[in-house]
């Protein structure tokens, strides 16, 4: 194999008994039974093997080596008296004749036990990530990531896509998030930006005559962290197709992803084509979110007409939503905790009542519902033993709270949560425009490069006042899996005339479009093909496949929640000489 080993620590089996071998790895543990007997666990990338020291000299040798030192052990393979069926190498052990230290760990105390690093404080794990990654459970997530990326590449190539890399240093572009800026040394006062996504480049490739493009693309956005979003950088399966429609994109994704999820996922079942398609507004009404988890069979019902005038003050002149759960067996204490959790997640209170075995309304706001008991039972489809969770407020707030109720109640009730599967769906028919919460003005709802449904005719009707701009939908779609948004995609707006008029609606004129997107606008004036694409997040996919709740568990060297790398000390200060060379003066914020 190599000079330092004949076998790996996960390779030896009973058939190797009697062989003289050489293993190398990290000394995980030493357990001294007596002065002349000790058991040592040797670990490498591939597994662990037990070493047995049977002389006082060897026992002292191992006891004198700090844990996590790298060592080489040469010795005889023999059958174990006490086998360990949980280990692939559990039938054998090594009786060493020679031990060599290859890399000494100089620390008597470790920041944490490597094989229990996931129990350690996250700050410590990130600071000593190179130790954390020695834990097989942590390492396996990174191996899984490599396997998934390899499978994606093969599948995309098999579908006729070319892998093309696009620039990392580019121009700043208004794409929804804050840019990371890079000073241009040879152009004082000017900056490159790290790409938030290869959006414009991949559209330019379509205009250049490349028919099918993809890459595992690094993207950079100065955003705050979440459980499913890493600050700073992330990777996505970026793809684009020329002369393509929404259906063409769906067909590729529905063919590529399910086999990968079924093969590599924690759950062996994944949705098969065609995925469920849910219009955006319908998703909000039915599930309370545009990211529904279809493993949960609970849905939202409108109870405004039924309960809006029941006399309960929080319901007066508000939208009221209801989530009905059959066979609910929670206690009052559990119900109170569920409602508290919903309030924390949604920012709004949740209310409730029960329809008991005697067909009576009890608990929560029962006294307000009691007068309309019969109507409630009929309108909400209540059966004995049902629990009803309620939300109220302006329409959007009531929907959001009801969506959190669905998720929380589904997780609490195993009979309504069919967990062990990957349930995909498409969210379609997104609004093209919305009224901005801060500006109060018309803004693009999602991707400004999306084609308005109906094209030029629809936009011109909105400009003339014939239709409400808020009624325009876009040929845009989101891919959702188990309540996690994996990607947004769209049929692109490839027509300069439609582009200018679409941007005019949000107060940007033709010169604004030309100045903000010069390359793309000019390229489209030379004849651009219709094209469409999507970009599922690789990090989120692997997070789902591994069954992890935090995206940091599947990234080799993640940042913390404050976008810091405690291991490398990033971000860091730089010298005044570096700043001078870049023509940059620092203005520190006031204390």
Q: Kindly report, residue by residue over 68-120, the tens digit of the pLDDT.
A: 999 999 999 999 999 999 999 999 999 999 999 999 999 999 999 999 999 99
Same domain for 145 and 258? yes
The pLDDT score that the predictor gives to residue 176 is: 65
Residue 278 located in a structural domain:
no
Residue 528 to residue 243: CA distance in whole angstroms: 10
- Tell me the per-residue pLDDT of 289-348, one tens digit each, with 9 for 90 and over: 999 999 999 999 999 999 999 999 999 999 999 999 999 989 999 999 999 999 999 999
The pLDDT of 391-418, averaged and rounded, is 96
Token digits for 380?
């909400």
- Domain containing residue 233: 137-270+534-558
Residue 401 located in a structural domain:
yes
Same domain for 176 and 251? yes
User: Residue 370 pLDDT > 90, yes or no?
Assistant: yes
Residue 571 located in a structural domain:
no
Predicted TM-score (pTM) of this structure = 0.91
The pLDDT score that the predictor gives to residue 321 is: 98
| Pairing outcome for strands 276-279 and 351-355 | unpaired
Residue 125 located in a structural domain:
no
Token digits for 492?
């692109």
CB atoms within 10 A of CB 351: 23
- The reply to whether omega before 274 is within 30° of 0 (cis) is yes
Choose between 251 and 330: higher pLDDT: 251
Same domain for 507 and 431? yes
Confidence of residue 447 (pLDDT cuts 50, 70, 90): confident
User: Residue 226 pLDDT > 80, yes or no?
Assistant: no
- Tell me the per-residue pLDDT of 461-520, one tens digit each, with 9 for 90 and over: 999 999 999 999 999 999 999 999 999 999 999 999 999 999 999 988 899 888 888 888
User: Residue 1 pLDDT > 60, yes or no?
Assistant: no
Q: Say which CATH number the domain at 161 has.
A: 3.30.930.10
Strand, coil or helix: 28: strand
Same domain for 388 and 443? no
The pLDDT score that the predictor gives to residue 231 is: 83
Residue 146 to residue 144: CA distance in whole angstroms: 5
Which DSSP helix (H) or strand (E) runs through 342?
helix 332-346
CB atoms within 10 A of CB 529: 14
Confidence of residue 268 (pLDDT cuts 50, 70, 90): confident
Beta bridge partners of 218: 235
Same domain for 519 and 540? no
| Percent with pLDDT over 70 in the chain | 99
Beta bridge partners of 219: 234
User: Residue 178 pLDDT > 70, yes or no?
Assistant: yes
Confidence of residue 17 (pLDDT cuts 50, 70, 90): very high
Looking at the 3D structure of the chain, how many domains does it have?
4
CB atoms within 10 A of CB 142: 17
Residue at which a domain ends, from 486, 510, 528: 528
Cα dist from 108 to 41, 50, 64, 173, 226, whole Å: 17, 22, 10, 51, 36
Strand, coil or helix: 197: coil
The pLDDT of 194-221, averaged and rounded, is 96
Cα dist from 579 to 191, 586, 587, whole Å: 14, 8, 12
Helix, strand, coil in percent for the chain, rounding step 5: 35, 25, 40
User: Residue 453 pLDDT > 90, yes or no?
Assistant: yes
Same domain for 331 and 430? no
Same domain for 84 and 151? no
Q: Say which CATH number the domain at 68 has.
A: 2.40.50.140
Same domain for 545 and 524? no
Residue 264 located in a structural domain:
yes
User: Residue 124 pLDDT > 60, yes or no?
Assistant: yes
Residue 204 located in a structural domain:
yes
Phi and psi angles of residue 4, each rounded to the nearest 5 degrees, phi first: -90, -5
Residue 185 located in a structural domain:
yes
Same domain for 405 and 317? yes
The pLDDT score that the predictor gives to residue 175 is: 59
Phi and psi angles of residue 242, each rounded to the nearest 5 degrees, phi first: -85, 155
Residue at which a domain ends, from 416, 450, 479: 416
How confident is the prediction for the chain on average, in pLDDT? 94
Confidence of residue 224 (pLDDT cuts 50, 70, 90): confident
Same domain for 409 and 428? no
Residue 579 located in a structural domain:
no
Same domain for 493 and 408? no
Which residue in the block uniquely carries the two structure tokens 């929404």?
Answer: 246
Q: Which of 333, 268, 291 is nearest to 547 (CA)?
A: 268
Q: Say which CATH number the domain at 340 has.
A: 3.30.1360.30
The pLDDT of 191-196, averaged and rounded, is 94
Same domain for 56 and 165? no
**What beta strand segments (E) does 360-423 contain?**
361-362, 386-393
Residue 122 to residue 176: CA distance in whole angstroms: 30
């Amino acid at each position: 194999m190599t000079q330092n080993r004949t076998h790996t620590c996960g390779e030896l089996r009973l058939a190797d008994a009697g062989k003289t071998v050489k293993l190398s790895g990290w000394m995980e543990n030493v357990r001294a039974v007596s002065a002349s007997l000790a058991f040592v666990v040797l670990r490498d990338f591939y597994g662990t093997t037990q070493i047995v020291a049977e002389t006082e000299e060897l026992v002292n040798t191992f006891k004198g080596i700090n844990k996590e030192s790298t060592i080489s052990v040469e010795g005889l393979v023999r059958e174990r008296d006490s086998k360990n069926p949980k280990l692939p190498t559990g039938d054998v052990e090594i009786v060493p004749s020679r031990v060599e230290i290859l890399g000494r760990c100089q620390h008597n105390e470790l920041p944490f036990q490597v094989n229990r690093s996931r129990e350690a404080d996250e700050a410590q794990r990130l600071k000593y990530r190179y130790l954390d990654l020695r834990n097989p459970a942590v390492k396996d997530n990174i191996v899984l990531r490599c396997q998934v990326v390899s499978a994606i590449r093969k599948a995309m190539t098999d579908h006729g896509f070319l892998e093309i890399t696009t620039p990392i240093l580019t121009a700043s572009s208004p794409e929804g998030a804050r840019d990371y800026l890079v000073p241009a040394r040879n152009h004082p006062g000017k900056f490159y930006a790290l790409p938030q996504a290869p959006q414009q480049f991949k559209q330019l490739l379509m205009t250049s005559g490349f028919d099918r493009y993809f890459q595992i693309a690094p993207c950079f956005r100065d955003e705050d962290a979440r459980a499913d979003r890493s600050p700073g950088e992330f990777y996505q399966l970026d793809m684009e197709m020329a002369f393509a429609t929404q259906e063409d994109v769906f067909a590729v994704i529905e063919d590529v992803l399910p086999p990968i999820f079924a093969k590599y996922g924690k759950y062996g079942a994944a949705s098969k084509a065609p995925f469920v398609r849910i219009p955006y507004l319908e998703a909000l009404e039915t599930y309370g979110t545009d990211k529904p988890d279809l493993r949960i069979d609970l849905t939202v019902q409108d109870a405004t007409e039924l309960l809006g005038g029941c006399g309960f003050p929080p319901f007066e002149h508000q939208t009221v939503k209801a989530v009905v759960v059959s066979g609910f067996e929670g206690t009052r204490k559990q119900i109170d905790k569920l409602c508290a959790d919903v309030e924390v997640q949604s920012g709004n209170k949740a209310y409730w009542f029960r329809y008991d075995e005697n067909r009576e309304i009890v608990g929560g706001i029962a006294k307000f519902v009691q007068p309309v008991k019969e109507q409630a039972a009929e309108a909400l489809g209540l059966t004995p033993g049902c629990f009803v969770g309620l939300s109220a407020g302006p329409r959007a707030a009531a929907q959001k709270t009801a969506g959190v109720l669905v998720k929380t109640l589904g997780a609490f009730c195993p009979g309504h949560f069919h967990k062990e599967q990957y349930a995909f769906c498409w969210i379609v028919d997104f609004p093209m425009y919305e009224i901005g919460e801060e500006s109060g003005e018309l803004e693009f709802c999602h991707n400004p490069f999306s084609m308005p449904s109906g094209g030029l005719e629809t936009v011109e009707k909105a400009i003339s006042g014939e239709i409400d701009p808020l009624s325009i939908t876009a040929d845009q779609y989101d891919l959702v899996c188990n309540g996690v948004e994996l990607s947004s995609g769209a049929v692109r707006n490839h027509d300069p005339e439609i582009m200018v008029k679409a941007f005019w609606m949000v107060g940007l004129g033709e010169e604004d479009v030309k100045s903000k997107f010069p390359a793309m606008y000019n390229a489209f004036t030379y004849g651009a093909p219709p094209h469409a694409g999507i970009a599922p997040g690789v990090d989120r996919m692997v997070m789902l496949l591994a069954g992890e709740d935090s995206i940091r568990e599947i990234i080799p060297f993640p940042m913390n929640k404050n976008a810091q790398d405690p291991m490398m000390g990033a971000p860091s200060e730089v010298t005044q000489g570096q700043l001078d060379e870049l023509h940059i003066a620092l203005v520190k914020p006031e204390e």
